[in-house]
Structure 1
Amino acid sequence: MILLRFRVENHRSIRDEAELSLVQPSLTTVRPKDGDWVGATTRVAGIYGANASGKSTVVDALKFFRATIVESATSWGLRKTIPQKPYLLDPDSKSSASGYAVDVVLGSTRYQYGFEIDARAVRHEWLYDYPSTKHRVLFERDGQEFSFGRSLIGAPRRHASATGERELFLSKAKSNGHELLGTVWSELVDGLVIADFSEQDRRLRLDQITEGIADGDIDLHDVTTLLQVADIGITEVAIDEPETSDGSRPARPGSVMQYYMVRTHLPSIHVESHRESGKTRILLTEKEELKRALTFQHLGFDGTFPLPVDAQSTGTLSWLSLALPALTILRKGGVLIVDEIDASLHPQLSQVILRMFKDPDYNHTGAQLIFTTHDTYLLSNQSDSALLPEETWFTEKHRDGATSLFSLADFPTRDDQNFAKRYLDGRYGGVPRTARSFLASLLDPEARETTDA
């Protein structure tokens, strides 16, 4: 999947429609004349902005878009309302629908898919494709009224009749086995991989990596090599397997790792029924479980030494939990979306990630990276992965609390300009407005009296 554009309206701080485009400015037609979508799009999009300006809101909108596709025809069936996230600082927006749409290339075909929802129902939904230079309607939805293009075969009306008002038609048709719509659903869900650096998210990804290695879905050599790329003194990685019921551990030939057991106390539910009273009592007790864990072989004073995952630095774990998903996306294609890519990572490691996506010698699938950051070195000509104007985006929050999203390519630029300095000087916006006078009121009693007066 190649992402051309993502549009969002009325989501958290984004009140008015905002568009993030990964289309090269040179593409002015519906499709590239040579059919080269990779050459017609950018591989990365870096989003800058002040704290609370809306950078993370763009990521959250992509996350919500994907979650709606996944959950609207499953877990949302148990909800009484849709978990809409409208702009709350305007009464009109608070009661209006929120809109989300993507413009993507799946295989060699361009598609446009989107929907509008409010807290009660899906208001609009549509899917178009471009078999030539003109778009073709596959389906359009207005509330519970559906219309279908002739090219959408597979009894779409039967799937529409089974679609509830809080369900996306795309999701319902996929769950009911529609071939084309199921393919579009899978491409969108599998092609959008979203990562952040919260402790919970990092731990979840590390657990998934551990289980993936143990199950053979992830190559242990890849994990070790990525850690060696970061040059942090790790020479080997292995999996600690839990003990079997007889106290033994399964052998792992060739491993020099010592085993490190991780025990977690999880609630176990026991139900007691009393026949005489007819009452049922539910008891929660603690149950000890053994989990697989990663172990790391570190260079030391005299040889190498094994250390458990809990002994690793935050930077090491952040690198591993980001670099491996990046490698996976690069191999199969798709879009990796990272909130605060520079969190817990050295700037040079952020550059390594960017280089992996921007360099065609590494990126053979046209994979893309969208990230938020404060790292202005990535705007500098001194960076070997410097962002180009069309790869650079800014968010700015206005006095009414609404976020705008715009590109450095919207400004007149020259290759010899120092974009980092000009950004920090406020030439492009997207920098904090500080009120330093308030600092005096915090530290100087006389100034505080003046402020209060």
Structure 2
Amino acid sequence: MILLRFRVENHRSIRDEAELSLVRPSLTTVRPKDQDWVGATTRVAGIYGANASGKSTVVDSIEFFQAMIVSSATSWSLRRRLPQQPFRLASGSTPEPSAYAVDFVFEDVRYQYGFEITENAVRQEWLYDYPSTKHRVLFERDGNEFKFGRALVGSPKLHAAATGSRTLFLSKAAGNGHELLGRLFAAFADQIVVADFSEQDRNRRLHQITEGIAEGDIGLNDVKTLLRVADIGIADVGIDESEVPDEVRELSKELNELFHRHLEPEPEEHGEHGEASAATEAPSTARPALQVDVIRRALMFQHTGRNGVFPLPLESQSTGTLSWLSLALPALTILRSGGLLVVDEIDASLHPQLSQVILRMFKDPDYNHTGAQLVFTTHDTFLLSVQSDSMLIPEETWFTEKDGDGATSLFSLAEFPTRPDQNFSKRYLDGRYGAIPRTARSFLVTLLDEETKDHADA
């Protein structure tokens, strides 16, 4: 999958429609004349902005878009309401709908897919493809009314009849075995990887890496090579396995029984047409369960010291090592399979040179053979300078900024008049493009004066 554009409206601090485009300015037609989608798109997009300006909201909106597709027909179907996150700094008691849409290329076909939701229902949903210079309707949805194009074969009306008001048709049809929609669902689910800034998400990715190595899905040599690239003194890495004690497994079983007895979701009274809700009908096997693996696995690192090599567990590694490993391996996976990696705060806990290594992996065609793409947020302005090995050019550089109403806008450096010889880093820090913090240093003087006064009074 190659991302062309992502659009979002009314999501957290994004009130008005915001568009992130990875299409090069040279592409002015629906399809590139030479059919080279990789050449017509950028491999990376870096998003700059002040703290709390909405950079992470862009990442979160992509993550929500993916989660809605993956979960609306499964775990979210048990909820009373969709987890809509609208802009809340506006008057009015009823939030407006939130909208999400992507233009993308899959199996050399251009598509546009999107949906509009409230917390109570899917309001709109659509899927178009572009067999020529004009789009072709595969399906359009308005509430519970569906319109299907002739090109969408596979009994779509039967899948529509089984689609609830809070469920995406794409997700339901994919789960019911529709061929095309199943492939598109898999692309959204598997070829978009979001890595946020939280320690919890980083630990989740490290756990996935551990299990992937143990199951043979991730090569141990890949891990060793990436650790050597970072040159952090680790000679070897392996998996340490141990059995989980019987008492822990027994406790897990007891917790599951308590969970199902006391914490099951409350059923809704009736569905739209009088049927019992999904929460009422769901068998116990479909309910979430607390699991403890029989085998406990952990990464073990061999560190080189003055007197030999010493094994140290994962929790003894530095934050920089863990951050590098948790980002570099997903990047390697995306580069090999194709798709989109989205990283919030790529420079957090990483040396600037390691951030550049990840960018170079995506920007250099010698490494990136699949057209994989990277979207990231950062404060590292060195990536805008000519001294950087992976300097961002204007169409790869984006900014977020909040207005007086607290609403985030998203815009590109390519919207400004630029020249290749300009120092984009310095001009950004000088405020030429906006999206920098507005500081009020006079308050610092007030704080220091108060502290001096307190000492004098004492």
Name the TM-score, length of structure 2 as normaliser.
Answer: 0.88
Match of 1:270 among 254, 259, 274: 254
Q: Please, which of 337, 352, 360 is the counterpart of residue 357 of structure 2? A: 352
Partner of 1:80: 80
How many angstroms apart in 1 are the aligned matches of 2:398 and 2:293?
Answer: 48
Give the structure 2 partner of residue 182 of structure 1: 182
Structure 2 counterpart SS, 1:384: coil
Counterpart residue identity of residue 31, structure 1: R
Aligned-partner residue type, residue 242 of structure 2: P
Deviation at 1:445, TM superposition (A): 2.8
Is this contact kept in 2: 1:379–1:420, CA < 8 A? yes
With 230-239 and 438-447 compared, the bigger mean Cα shift is at 438-447
Q: How does 1:288-367 map to 2 (within 5 A)?
A: 291-367=296-372
- What are the within-5 Å matches in structure 2 for residues 9-408 of structure 1? 9-92=9-92, 95-243=95-243, 267-270=251-254, 291-408=296-413
Deviations 1:377-425 (A, max 9, x none): 0001100100000000000001110000000000000111110010001
Q: Quick one: which amino acid aligns to residue 198 of structure 1?
A: S
Task: Report the Cα distance in structure 2 between the residues aligned to 1:349 and 1:327, rounded to whole angstroms.
Answer: 14
Poorly superposed stretches of 4+, deviation over 6 Å: 263-266, 446-449
Measure, in 2, the Cα distance between the counterparts of 1:241 and 1:289: 10
**More strand as a share of residues:** 1
For 2:222 and 2:251, locate their aligned partners in 1 and report how far apart those are by CA, in whole Å.
Answer: 35
Q: Deviations over 1:71-94 (max 9, x none)?
A: 111112211111100000113595
Deviation of 1:267 (Å) = 4.7
Rounded to whole Å, the distance in 2 between the matches of 1:109 and 1:161 is 28
Contact 1:197–1:318 (Cα < 8 Å) also in 2: no
**Are the counterparts in 2 of residues 441 and 448 from structure 1 also a CA contact under 8 Å?**
no
Aligned CA distance change for structure 1 residues 137 and 386 (closer, same or farther; 3 Å): same
| SS in structure 1 of the partner of residue 432 of structure 2 | coil
Secondary structure in structure 1 of the residue aligned to 2:225: helix
Which of 416, 421, 426 is residue 421 of structure 1 equivalent to?
A: 426
CA-atom RMSD in angstroms:
2.4
Moved more, 25-34 or 300-309: 300-309
- 1:175-207 Cα distance to aligned partner (Å, 9 max, x none): 111111111111111111101231111111111
Change (3 A) 1:93 1:354: farther
Q: Distance in 2 between matches of 1:281 and 1:325?
A: 38
Looking at structure 2, the residues matched to 355 and 318 of structure 1 have their Cα atoms a distance apart, in angstroms, of 17
Q: CA deviation at 1:289?
A: 7.1
* Percent of aligned pairs sharing the same letter: 73
1:448: how far off?
9.7
Q: What corresponds to 2:280 in structure 1? A: none
Aligned to 1:91, what secondary structure does the other structure show?
A: coil
Counterpart residue identity of residue 295, structure 1? M
Deviates more, 1:64-73 or 1:90-99: 90-99
In the alignment of these two chains, the number of paired residues is 423
Deviations 1:244-282 (A, max 9, x none): 999xxxxxxxxxxxxxxxx989953439x9xxxxxx999
Name the CA distance, whole Å, in 1 between partners of 2:322 and 2:304: 17
Classify the secondary structure of the residue corresponding to 2:254: strand
User: Following the alignment from structure 1 to structure 2, what is the Cα–Cα distance between the partners of residues 103 and 431?
Assistant: 30
Q: Residues 441 and 447 of structure 1 are in contact (CA less than 8 Å); yes or no, is this contact kept in structure 2?
A: no
Residue 249 of structure 1 corresponds to none
SS of residue matched to 1:444: helix
- Cα 1:13–1:446, aligned 2, differ >3 Å: closer, same or farther? same
Q: 1:378, 1:387 within 8 Å by CA — same for their partners in 2?
A: yes
Q: Name the structure 1 match of 2:415.
A: 410
Residue 450 (structure 2) pairs with residue 445 (structure 1) = yes
Alpha-carbon distance change, 29 to 448 in structure 1, aligned in 2, over 3 angstroms: farther
Distance 1:245 1:187 in 2: 39
- The TM-score normalised by the length of structure 1 is 0.89
Instruction: Give the Å deviation of 1:302.
Output: 2.9
> Would the aligned equivalents of 1:114 and 1:126 in 2 still touch at CA under 8 Å?
yes
1:39 & 1:239 partners in 2: Cα distance? 40
- Structure 2: which amino acid aligns with 1:336? L
Provide the residue aligned with 1:251 in structure 2: none
